[in-house]
Structure 1
Amino acid sequence: MKTLNNYKTLFAVALLFIISSCTNFDELASDPNKATSVPPSMLLSEVLRVMNNLDEGPWSAAQRDNQFWAISFDYYGSQDYNWGSAAFRYTTMSNVVAMEKEASKLGTKNKYGALSKFFKAYFLDYMTKRVGDIPMTEALQATSDVAITEPKYDSQKEVYISILSLLDAANDQIIIAKGEVGTGNISGDFLYGGDLNKWQKLINSFRVRVLISLSKKESEINIKSQFSQIISNPEKYPLMTGIADNLARHFADENGNQYALNPSNFGFNRNRNIMAGTYLDILKQNNDPRIYKVVDAATFYYNPNDPLSLNAYVPAYTGDDQGAMQVASDKGKLSYPNQKRYYSTFSGEDYILIGFAEQEFGIAEAINRGWIAGDAASHYNQGIKASMNFYSISTSDINNFLANSNIVYKGNTADGLTQILSQKYVAFFQNSERESYFNYRRTGIPVFNVGPANKNGSRIPNRWKYPQSEFETNSINIKAALSTQYGGSDDINAKMWLLK
């Protein structure tokens, strides 16, 4: 991942807005061309652009790390897990702070303020789950007379307590905003079209994601009561009710907004994008109808007299040697992404960042773990249906799949939990950044493949390194954070608080 952290930029930008807002009339009169503010709508659009991070989007290296696909040509990329540094998002968070400030001057404090709290929670979560402890309290305290260029690190536990508090406050504030402006009227929102109802559902659905990610910390952070708070009061904490509520990016045939696989690059990458075994094997084991939507049969094994034979759907494995993989690919012995679905248009399919299926699997897991009362099977089935509806699977095929003995929920047991997590992984295919990896890291389900291509001692890493810029501009605090967490080593295989 590219290192994008620059605290000085954060504070410079924050100060720019604060200083600009204090410009007096004489200065304005002497320089009428000088911009003194940026509309919150413009700042919101920029924040959403960063949130739609296609470095972790469909068919990206992140989706290879999720073991959804493998790459057969080492010239274009590797299969290894010898990870470098993560990206920080403090520059974007400065825009969030500025958006909140500018909105308050225009009398639109609550609608943009609620989104601001959500974005702070989202980007704090984005960063901390990749590296561990991060700067938080001091990193967001730049003022006109105080600029902390070397912020201290907050513990990951403190960060998650703050994230959950922000999300609760965001829900409260969006209720106030809806009373002021109705359900819409947020300019700059190209994802939900300014629909505050959908934003409120998203905020609470994301809170479900965060609470599930803390499954190992139930005794330290009262996860049960917070989950119960949401599920027991749907009027105050509405959740997504279908895939129409998904937070998703829509692609089109326009510059900078084309789906990753499309007609113009068919000849460029068709024979190096190979379906990976961690994903494809789950589909095959369950005779999953989604396989025919997303995968093409390997031409070497395809039998026109038996076009649905699963024997013709052959994956590569993430740990495989790329040389052997390339030979097999050249002979037509491996399966590629479905040509009709992914190479017929420039719009491809929506890229889901946070979706209804994930929410339903999260609730099912919470019930399975005994955190809340409820019918885990119902939410588990809803998650499967939501994913199948995304691929336009017929109702009869969905019902047949749900009746499969491998799929029928095995109760609130370890086997039931494995079913939930496996189907959640399938639903994450080419979506939701690295959430499938984070769920694997937390639970070990599904088992990720390792092999000669791994280059990390046959291990899947637990984290990324801190950005190099931290060692250059915030060395005292980064060294203290490493000492506290990982014995002083920026080790990608070390366990952060979240995983202990």
Structure 2
Amino acid sequence: MKRIVLCILTLLTVGSCTKEFDKMNVDPNNPTALSPQYLLPYAIEKVVDRSWGGRTRFERLNLDGAMLWMQYLTRNIYSNEGDNYGLSVAFYNNNWTSLFNDGLVNFQRIVTLSGAGGQYQNTNYEGIAMVMRTWTFSLLTDLYGPIPYTEALKGTADQPNYTPSYDSMDKIYAGMLADLKTANEKLVVGGAAVSGDILYNGDILKWKKFANSLRLRLANRQAAKKLAESKAIMAEILGDPTKYPVFTSNADNATLKTTEVLSSNNEFFLVMVNDSRTDWNVSKTLTDKLNALGDERLKVYAQPNKAGKYEGHANGLPDAIATTYLATSSNIGTYFIQKTSPEVIMTFAELNLILAEAAQDGDITGSAQSYFEKGITASFDQYGLKVTDTYLKTVGAVSKANIMEQKWIALFGQGLEAWTEYRRTGLPVLPAKDPRAVFENDGVLPTRLPFPTSESSLNEANYTKGIALVGGKNDTKAKLWWAEN
């Protein structure tokens, strides 16, 4: 009160009280602008949590979607929540909204703030945000198909665009691959420091490795549609490991470092332990396959039942039948439901299996068998296990089918990635449906998510064009661009 009175008394002669009046009225606890170090951890955690599980019922993208469709897990109750191919509106509405608003918008803010002319110029922040922006766009386009891309994220631009057009997937892939190459150039080892990095703790070399490994993933995914371009990209990366470093061990894996703090716990832990949800068991498809192979990873992926066995039950069973397996079907392994269990984006094992497929297809030079065995070994090593010659002999020689089966096994937990690879290749071959199972969607395993209902009202003209790009129906049966058959 005294300061206000003093300002009034001296206003005409001094003017100093009004000189910093704007600073006096700034609440330090409610900033109007955030720097990259605060935007980055928020955006990373939001998108990785979404991809790994999501805690909110009817929105659990991985747990109640891809992990069930790829028959890693199965439900013992509420089979209509994903296991029978049924989807709630919230499932495809709210995941779209979160990936765009919580993830992409903030990664774009970091690019703007840290890029040339930005308030916090730092090419390492810019490069990291470009990598994460690309990965998030890849999630969205692989989930929905055509999406707003070229005109997206311009709501706060000088000339804002609130009704962005939908781009075809081939155009989106071209943009993502180009951005990853640029991101690798922006990332400078020994350059400006970054804070708030909850993936690699500021290790820029590992970010470069992730950028180039992700670029190989996307190039391989589109290879059947753009062979020459994909081969050129893979040759460029593999031909110059100094300029384009890639993962060289499990120490390079892109994983979210979850914590003991409740809000940052692993998503599987939050749902299955903290929220006491016991709705899931391990699928019979997974246990049958790993038991047949003598695969030690089963002891990590699942818990033994009361008889000391690793068993599951079929997907899509009605509740009255599914609940009868509660005493015999294995639960998910304890490794995956700790507070600090990692949430995985990409691994050294996956990279080697990508290269095994590329070599098997003749898209790169090198031994497909060697990459294949390195991929299997890396997957075992990821869990502190050792692969044996007996196991490799049981698996058999490298082939497209064996590569994709081993990729499916190695991707346990990463349901979205496994689902995308299955939709692309049709592999691994999943067993015939249990005759007691009841499925929606005419029994068709979902091939995409519908565009959200908000788009039909807020962006109708472009939404209609987007539907045309997936065959004219906004359903879950249309094959996406990279599908090989």
Instruction: Bin the TM-score by the shorter chain.
Output: 0.7 to 0.9
- For residues 389 and 469 of structure 2, the distance between their equivalents in structure 1, rounded to whole angstroms, comes to 52
- For residues 335 and 66 of structure 1, the distance between their equivalents in structure 2, rounded to whole angstroms, comes to 17
SS of the counterpart of 1:253? coil
Q: CA deviation at 1:55?
A: 5.9
Paired letter, 1:444 = G
Residue pair 1:262, 1:342 contacting (<8 A) in 2 also: no
One of 359, 367, 372 as aligned partner of 1:375: 367
- For residues 119 and 274 of structure 1, the distance between their equivalents in structure 2, rounded to whole angstroms, comes to 32
- For residues 375 and 273 of structure 1, the distance between their equivalents in structure 2, rounded to whole angstroms, comes to 39
Match of residue 48 from structure 2: 52
One of 7, 31, 37 as aligned partner of 2:33: 37
- For residues 334 and 179 of structure 1, the distance between their equivalents in structure 2, rounded to whole angstroms, comes to 51
- Structure 1 residue 490 corresponds to structure 2 residue 478: no
Residue pair 1:213, 1:442 contacting (<8 A) in 2 also: yes
Could you say what the CA RMSD is over the residues aligned between the two structures, in angstroms? Answer: 2.7
37-46 vs 192-201, which deviates more?
37-46
Which runs of structure 2 are paired with 1:427-438 in the superposition (5 Å)? 427-430=410-413, 432-438=414-420
Match of residue 68 from structure 2: 64
Match of residue 297 from structure 1: 304
1:289-318 CA-to-partner distances (Å, cap 9, x unmatched) read: 12233323343xx3xxxx6xxxx4322111
- Structure 1 residue 215 corresponds to structure 2 residue 223: yes
- Structure 1 residue 336 corresponds to structure 2 residue 319: no
Match of residue 469 from structure 1: 454
SS of the counterpart of 2:421? helix
Identity score, percent: 23
Q: CA deviation at 1:228?
A: 0.9
Match of residue 139 from structure 1: 152
Residue pair 2:79, 2:319 contacting (<8 A) in 1 also: no
- For residues 484 and 144 of structure 1, the distance between their equivalents in structure 2, rounded to whole angstroms, comes to 27
Residue pair 1:81, 1:460 contacting (<8 A) in 2 also: yes
Match of residue 8 from structure 2: none
SS of the counterpart of 2:441? coil
- Structure 1 residue 150 corresponds to structure 2 residue 163: yes
Residue pair 1:57, 1:433 contacting (<8 A) in 2 also: no
Residue pair 2:223, 2:231 contacting (<8 A) in 1 also: no
Which runs of structure 2 are paired with 1:43-442 in the superposition (5 Å)? 43-54=39-50, 56-57=52-53, 60-62=63-65, 63-74=67-78, 77-83=81-87, 84=89, 85=92, 87-88=95-96, 89-91=99-101, 92-104=103-115, 105-106=118-119, 108-142=121-155, 144-174=157-187, 177-178=188-189, 180-181=191-192, 185-219=193-227, 222-259=229-266, 260-261=268-269, 265=273, 268-270=276-278, 272-299=279-306, 302=307, 312-329=309-326, 332-338=327-333, 341=335, 346-347=339-340, 349-393=341-385, 395=386, 398-404=387-393, 406-410=394-398, 416-430=399-413, 432-442=414-424
Residue pair 1:288, 1:401 contacting (<8 A) in 2 also: no
Residue pair 1:131, 1:466 contacting (<8 A) in 2 also: yes
- For residues 31 and 448 of structure 2, the distance between their equivalents in structure 1, rounded to whole angstroms, comes to 42
In the alignment of these two chains, the number of paired residues is 443
Residue pair 2:146, 2:466 contacting (<8 A) in 1 also: yes
Residue pair 2:349, 2:378 contacting (<8 A) in 1 also: yes
Residue pair 1:357, 1:383 contacting (<8 A) in 2 also: yes
1:194-220 CA-to-partner distances (Å, cap 9, x unmatched) read: 11011000111111111122133134x
SS of the counterpart of 2:442? coil
- For residues 185 and 81 of structure 2, the distance between their equivalents in structure 1, rounded to whole angstroms, comes to 45
Q: CA deviation at 1:152?
A: 1.4
- For residues 103 and 209 of structure 1, the distance between their equivalents in structure 2, rounded to whole angstroms, comes to 27
- For residues 253 and 38 of structure 1, the distance between their equivalents in structure 2, rounded to whole angstroms, comes to 25
- For residues 454 and 277 of structure 2, the distance between their equivalents in structure 1, rounded to whole angstroms, comes to 34
Q: Cα gap change, 1:157/1:333 in structure 2, threshold over 3 Å: closer, same or farther?
A: same
- For residues 315 and 237 of structure 1, the distance between their equivalents in structure 2, rounded to whole angstroms, comes to 43
The answer for unaligned runs of 5 or more in structure 2 is 1-18, 55-61
The answer for unaligned runs of 5 or more in structure 1 is 1-24, 411-415
Q: CA deviation at 1:45?
A: 1.3
Paired letter, 1:90 = F
Q: Taking structure 1 as the reference length, what is the TM-score of the superposition?
A: 0.81
Residue pair 1:298, 1:335 contacting (<8 A) in 2 also: yes
- For residues 271 and 183 of structure 2, the distance between their equivalents in structure 1, rounded to whole angstroms, comes to 42
Paired letter, 1:116 = A
SS of the counterpart of 1:274? strand
SS of the counterpart of 1:492? coil
- For residues 112 and 266 of structure 1, the distance between their equivalents in structure 2, rounded to whole angstroms, comes to 34
- For residues 78 and 145 of structure 1, the distance between their equivalents in structure 2, rounded to whole angstroms, comes to 42
SS of the counterpart of 1:79? coil
Residue pair 2:113, 2:120 contacting (<8 A) in 1 also: no
Paired letter, 1:200 = K
Residue pair 1:263, 1:346 contacting (<8 A) in 2 also: no
Q: CA deviation at 1:480?
A: 1.9
Residue pair 1:240, 1:356 contacting (<8 A) in 2 also: yes
- For residues 41 and 26 of structure 1, the distance between their equivalents in structure 2, rounded to whole angstroms, comes to 27
Paired letter, 1:60 = L
Runs of 4+ aligned structure 1 residues displaced above 6 Å come to: none
